[in-house]
Amino acid sequence: MTKYMLMILGVASIVALGMLIDARSSTPTKRSADSLNPNVVFALGRIEGRTPEVELRSRLAGRVTEVLVEEGQFVEQGQIILRLDDEQYRYEVNLAAAQLKLAQATRDRLINGAHLQERAEAEAMYSAKQAELQRAQLAWERIAKLSQARAISQQEADNQETLVTGLTAEVAAAKAHFDLLTAKARVDDIQMEDARVDAAQANLELANINVERSILKAPSRGQILKLDAEVGELIGPESFEPAVILTDTSRFHARAFVEEMDAPQVKIGMPAQVVADGLLDKKFPGRVIRLSPRMGRKELWSNDPTERYDTKTREVWIELEETADLIVGLRVDVEIDLKDTAGESTTANVPGRRALAADRPPL
């Protein structure tokens, strides 16, 4: 009997929990007849810098050798944040530079041609072979006459004829070698050497890029919100946490998340004000400067147990006139005035509009 009672209690607990979850996700926000203002939209929001938060990761995997900034520090665009060990990349630069010089020298040698001494040697060799051929030809003419008169053997005549033929070939080879050394470089040969020079230049640039990537620099002016890198630590593009989070805090914006029933009523230029729990005695005035073109998932929630969790929201950016004491990431309550420039409500007689913060307890 006890076993069945425990089973019944277990089932009842599960059902009660399901009903509670369903109530939290579907119960509409309570409204207060005293505080509901049809001319004001209430929304949750948070404080952001002038630019979105930028997560910086090293583009190369390496060990940190130097960290040059601290959290909270302001940096300028291009300022060095940290350095990685770059010894290997510098050797690669030296190697690529040497290969480029070799390719350029080879191209220059092709265009300039052979040395004067090499040309002179080839010319002398050509002249010497010509002289040998002339002497052999004269001897062959005399031997040919003697051979006709049967004054010498046929073997001797054949040997002299073969000598003339061989020297003729040697003269042609010497002339070809001399012409090669004195001729201008061919266009296709120059193009091949140009391509080798370009390839060596590209390798040098790639090596320099790797040296540059071993240095993490600030992409823009801003404040270091978070620094997650220590000297000796191994970091890289696949690191789970970014090495640095940076944003421009020269001005602050409030990003409000307006629920879908109020979103169509908000327009650019509407006045707004922001209140933070830690600064309840201050209200920060501002104006709507940008609207998201789409609805998205809700990102901020209050402590109200009746708040809907399945509601879509539209992101609205508000430029604040005063930013003293505000902190990036601070959660705030946002009120947007729906009155137009003539002072008339843009939502008059619109039934069912929500006031998110009308009844909401403090965050």
pLDDT at 233 over 70: yes
Model pLDDT, residue 299 = 76
* Mean pLDDT of the 258-278 span: 90
Model pLDDT, residue 168 = 83
Handedness of CA 356, 357, 358, 360 (dihedral sign): positive
Arithmetic mean of pLDDT over the chain: 80
pLDDT at 33 over 60: no
C-alpha closest to that of 355 among 45, 37, 44, 24: 37
pLDDT at 42 over 60: yes
Model pLDDT, residue 362 = 39
Model pLDDT, residue 73 = 93
Q: How far apart are CA 363 and CA 308, in angstroms?
A: 16
pLDDT at 30 over 60: no
pTM: 0.60
Model pLDDT, residue 347 = 40
pLDDT at 27 over 60: no
pLDDT at 260 over 60: yes
pLDDT at 63 over 50: yes
Residue 345 DSSP symbol: B
**Pick from 190-199, 282-291, 298-307, 330-339: least confident:** 298-307
Model pLDDT, residue 342 = 39
Q: What percentage of the chain reaches a pLDDT higher than 90?
A: 39
Q: How far apart are CA 19 and CA 57, in angstroms?
A: 45
List the structure tokens of 326: 């505000």
User: Regarding predicted confidence, which is higher, 357 or 89?
Assistant: 89
* Mean pLDDT of the 226-239 span: 91
pLDDT at 29 over 50: no
Q: How far apart are CA 57 and CA 66, in angstroms?
A: 15
Q: How far apart are CA 300 and CA 331, in angstroms?
A: 9
User: Regarding predicted confidence, which is higher, 163 or 305?
Assistant: 163
Question: Model confidence over 151-200: pLDDT tens digits?
Answer: 677 777 777 778 878 878 887 887 777 667 666 778 888 889 899 999 99
Q: What percentage of the chain reaches a pLDDT higher than 70?
A: 77
What CATH number has the domain spanning 27-50+251-363? Answer: 2.40.30.170
pLDDT at 24 over 60: no
* Mean pLDDT of the 221-246 span: 91
Model pLDDT, residue 19 = 61
Q: Does domain 54-85+214-246 have CATH number 2.40.50.100?
A: yes
